[in-house]
Structure formats: C-alpha cells, structure tokens
Structure 1
Amino acid sequence: MTSSAIARSTRHIIWDWNGTLLDDNDAVVAAVNKVCAAFGCEHIDLERWRAVFGRPLHRSYEHVLGRALGEHDWTRIEKLYHDAYRELLPTCGLAHGVPEKLRAWIDSGRTQSLLSMWFHDELVPLVETFGLNALFTRIDGLRAEIGGGSKADCLTEHVTVLGIDPAETVLIGDVADDAHAAERVGADCVLLTTGVMARPALEATGFPVVDSITEALETVEAEAAA
C-alpha cells in the first residue's frame, strides 16, 4: 500500500538496522572511499553518495568511479568495502532515541522485530553488544556470503516465520528498497532520511518520510489514534 499515511491498526514494527537504528554513515562513506582510493578516484562525501545511491548498487559505484564495472571489479569492490566497513563498525553508535523509543513501543503491548541486509552471523552479536536483542521477537540478517540481493524476498520470509499480519505491520527503514519490500508483502512503511538515500528518492516511494526515530514512531502513533 503506497500512501502518504499508514494503517491505523499497527501492532508490529519491523526495523531496518544500518542507517536506521545504527548510525553508520561515517563508516559507510569511509568504506566507499577505500574503494575510491583503490581505483584511483577522488574521495566523496555523504551528500555525493546519497546523490548516486540506488539499486542495483553497482551502478552507484559506476557513477562514483566513472567507469563500467565487470564481474572481477565488483568482486574486488565487495571485498574492499566490507573489509573497511567491518573495521569501522566499532566506531558506530545507535541513532538518537534508541533504545528508549523501542522500549516504549514494547511497553505499550505491541511487538517489533529486526530485519537487516547485513550478514546474519555478524548482525546478531552486534545487536547484542548494544543490549538490544531482548527488544525484538526475531532478528534476521542476510544468510549469504555476498551482500546485496532482494530485501523483498527476505521480508516475505521474515513475515511468514513470525506469523504476523502485514496489514498490521509497518517497516521502518532508510532506503527505497525498504518501501518496495513493504509494498510487496502488503505492509506499510515509514522512511528515515538518516541513511544513505536522498530525500527526493525516498519521497518518490509515496510513503511517509521523516527525519528521526522519534518522528517515525510519532507517525505510526498518529495514524493509530486517528
């Protein structure tokens, strides 16, 4: 369902991780710049990355690197990026409002889960380091050796395993992929401007776009009270 408002009967929130609950923009840009350096290109800043970021991801890198990318190039980029990002992960913190706002949602008698496209075996212990695991009914990351893939497929499985009603569910994320995935399964979506996608691209999805975790939950609550 694509609209400027969301359903009034929200009982469950599915949270994205990177760029949503985890403030990792500095790590992302630094990791992208490791790729740029390896390919002999100038460094970029967050605004430049937001301007070119989209799917498929290799096209974003083609814009930044100024060249077409073959399979070997993409394999190299994947390794360069993920190695650099992993090294910088310990410097990342939680978004403002986490975990307080998430605890308040649970205290209201409703539920929430976490779905990320970061690697599952690394995601779960990372979430645990912040003491958040108990706040989620389920945590799912990417169960593959290579990043990317379809979030819609992962969301479909996540919703099925949880046994929740998509009509009573809101996905809160930071990129258009989150909106497309939510639309695929029949859930609603709220998008944050705190990640790596520019506001116009988020607004083009037709879903509500906000600037913080607090605003995202206020959007959900406002519709529930309407």
Structure 2
Amino acid sequence: MYRNLIFDWSGTLVDDLGPTLEATNAVFGIHGREAMDRDEFRRLFRLPYSEFYEEHLPGIALADLENHFRKAFAESPVAVTVLPHAREKLEWCREHGVRCFVLTSMDRNTFEGQLDDLEMRQYFEATYSGVVDKREVIGSLVINHELEVSQTAFLGDMIHDIVTAKHGGVASVALLTGYTHREVLQAQQPDWLMADLREFREMLDQHRRNS
C-alpha cells in the first residue's frame, strides 16, 4: 500500500506540546501579549509558524522571535517524549522494509538533539528539519529519493501537513495525537484520519493480509 512514509515530528512522533506552549507564551510575555491556555493554543496555532506569529505579534522580526522561543523551549522543565505507538510503528516499518523520512519545521539543532536523545535516528533514511514551509521541500524530497508518489504518504497532525501532502502529490494521513482538533483536520479532507499510529499500523497490516 505505502512503501514510503514521510513523518512530521512534533505531535506525530513526539509529544512536545507542553514545552512548545511554554515557549510560545514566553515569547508573548516578552512582547506584552496575554498568554494562551492549552486549548486556545491548539485551536489557533498553525504552520507555517511565521504566519501565526505575524498574526499575533505583527511587525516583529521572525529571527528575534525564534531566538526567544528556542531559549525558552530549551529551558522548559517539561520533557519531550516519544508518543505512544510511535516507536512500534517505526519498528514495524523497519521490519517490513518501509522507507521512512522526517519533514519538520522544528529548529535543526533542537531536532537533532531530540533525535539522538530519544534514540530515533536509526529509523530514518533522511531527515529534513528547520523547514518553515514544508510545501517548498516535499517535492524535492520525493524526487531526490526517487519515491513513487502512489506509494508514499505524509503523516502529520496539522492542517499544513495535509496541505503539504496534497501539494506533493502524496497521500495525506492526519493524526489526532498532536496540536489540532479532529473537526479542524476533518474539514481539510485528508485521505486518512487516524486516532494514532497504532490505528494506522493496523490498517496497513489488514491491507497486507488482504493483498
């Protein structure tokens, strides 16, 4: 069914909502904006994050916002953890010869640190981080790694991930383990809407048994 899987990182493979919310509110506080609670953040945050910050902190240089965000994220006492079923899914991919990639907007240094700290690097053929607008990269990722689009899916938890998948001509798999509520993702009409990676793995297993 799918021989190639491109994963988003935050909210798809790891849970970093806590430190992300703390860091965002730290940036807001520096610039005199009221903090968001968890539900408000999930409803309003979006990618590309440059658009989110331009809406809520207009006119402030993105590079300055990023510097404050990264510092606050690194200082957060809330741990980043691997989401349930994520490692099992990646092991399943390795067992069945499914090629795996990461395409994430997360800052490259932060991402590389998490990749090693969480012992996830061995699962991926290649990773692409620090990508503010994933639509600008997915096409070259598919071409450079000679991926057949009909056998490729992009998995993510945000509207931008669904839009990116469609832009790249690959299947879109929306996951409910991250930042965005079900009804918001559903409105974007992804090819698949899954509770988590276990449900996605079970669907692929069922397809393999039937084929």
Asked if these proteins are the same fold (TM beyond 0.5), I'd say yes
- Inter-CA distance 55–126: structure 2 relative to 1 (3 Å threshold): closer
Give the equivalent residue in structure 1 for 2:90. 102
Q: 2-side partners of 1:39 and 1:125: how far apart?
A: 28
CA shift, 1:59, in A, is 5.2
Give me the whole-angstrom Cα distance separating, in 1, the residues matched to 2:173 and 2:113. Answer: 26
Q: Distance in 2 between matches of 1:161 and 1:44?
A: 40
* Match of residue 127, structure 1, among 115, 118, 121: 115
Which structure's relative contact order is higher, taking Cα pairs within 8 Å and 6+ residues apart? 1
Match of 1:188 in 2: 171
The residue type paired with residue 39 of structure 1 is H
- 1:157 Cα deviation from its structure 2 partner: 1.8
Q: Relative to 1, partners in 2 of residues 1:12 and 1:125: Cα closer, same or farther, differing over 3 Å?
A: same
> 1:11–1:111: 8 Å Cα contact kept in structure 2?
yes
Which of the residues 148, 152, 164 maps onto 1:169?
152
Q: Aligned residue for 2:68?
A: 80
Encode CA deviations 1:18-72: one digit per residue, 9 max, x unaligned: 1111100101111111122223333222210111123454554466x5xx61144
Contact 1:192 1:216 in 2 (8 A): no
Q: Which moved more, 1:16-25 or 1:196-205?
A: 196-205
Letter in 2 for 1:129: D
Higher mean C-alpha deviation, range 163-172 or range 101-110: 101-110
Structure 1: runs of 5 or more not aligned: 1-8
Distance in 2 between residues matched to 1:111 and 1:56, nearest whole Å: 26
CA distance in 1, matches of 2:113, 2:21: 23
For 2:43, give the aligned amino acid. A
Q: What is the CA deviation profile of residues 62-117 of structure 1, one whole-angstrom value per residue up to 9, with x for unaligned ones?
A: 66x5xx61144x44433222221233387211101131221012212322122212
Matched with 1:5 is none
| Identity score, percent | 22
CA RMSD of aligned residues (A): 2.4
Post-superposition shift, 1:122? 3.8
- Greater Cα offset, 207-216 or 187-196: 207-216
TM (norm. structure 2) is 0.86
Question: Shift in Å at residue 132 of structure 1?
Answer: 1.5
Rounded to whole Å, the distance in 1 between the matches of 2:2 and 2:14 is 23
Pairs within 5 Å for 1:127-146: 127-142=115-130
Task: Give the AA of the match of 1:16.
Answer: D
**Where do residues 20-99 of structure 1 align in structure 2 (5 Å cutoff)?**
20-55=12-47, 57=49, 60-61=52-53, 65=56, 69-72=58-61, 74-88=62-76, 91-99=79-87
Structure 2 unpaired stretches of 5+? none
Is the aligned partner of 1:152 residue 2:140? no
| Alignment length (residue pairs) | 209
Q: In 2, are the aligned partners of 1:24 and 1:89 still within 8 Å (CA)?
A: no
